[in-house]
Amino acid sequence: MNEPLPMSGTEGDALTTVSVILPTYNERDNIGPLIAAVLRSGRRWPTDVLVVDDDSPDATWQVVQEMAEQDRRVQLLRRIGERGLTSAISAGIGAAGGDVVVWMDCDFSMPPEHIPALVAAIADDGYDVAVGSRYVAGGRDVGHGLMARLFSRAINLFAALLLGFGVRDYTSGFIAARRALFDEIELHGDYGEYCIDFLARARRRGYRVREVGYVCGERRSGESKTGANVLDYVRRGWKYVVTVLRLAVVR
């Protein structure tokens, strides 16, 4: 098993810096309040926010740009001619300067006040990756309908059966990890399957992964980017299944 990756500098809260990556597409109404909430969560550790926006038609990037001009803790990476959740997160990781990187959805379904609990699992408890989990003690999903919850439960049970019950929420998407880990592991995949791939490979390489329960809430504003009907879930679901089978066969 790999030893936990060291933080930069010596021990001490002041030397643990956190970069929160927010991948956005049409989140104009959510992004300003979310950035403010993320920065408020960073009272213990110096925290900055990096918004990776895929040139949103609703000009989400304009809101971020105005905030960045007023607060140096806020940065904008506006991508033109490029789109995709996984590549956006990867771009953010590449540009992040924190010892710990965090990424999350930008619709308030993942509460920003939960970020310190994820970072503490790394900074205080020595884990390499912390997962905001709906499926461990303290976690649940109140933000999605019955069909979405059943789909998520089925995919995560399937993943755990084949890849190991060391993780219960393989499709979380609410992640904190030591920045240095990404010198060895790159993100692969399209939508939610990137998270399955990342967590499975991190565990196989011996990195310590801890799940921290959180309550997944409803989107505050705007349109959901998850499935709207059974066909949407089937289209995405087969990619999840293929990813799990590939990881189960190729070790």
Assign domain 14-249 to a CATH class: alpha beta
Q: How far apart are CA 20 and CA 234, in angstroms?
A: 31
Could you tell me the pTM of the whole model? 0.90
Mean pLDDT of 148-154: 91
Mean pLDDT of 235-250: 89
Q: In 38-62, which positions are buried (b, 16+ CB within 10 angstroms) versus exposed (e)?
A: bbebbeebbbbbbbbbbebeeebbe
DSSP secondary structure of 61-118: HHHHHHHHHH-TTEEEEE-SS---HHHHHHHHHHH--SSEEEE--SSSSS-GGGHHHH
Contact 63, 32 (CB under 8 A): yes
Amino acid at 13: D
The candidate with the shortest Cα–Cα distance to 241, out of 141, 163, 185, is: 163
Does residue 12 surpass a pLDDT of 60? no
pLDDT in tens, 83-135: 999 999 999 999 999 999 999 999 999 999 999 999 999 999 999 999 999 99
pLDDT in tens, 27-49: 999 999 999 999 999 989 999 99
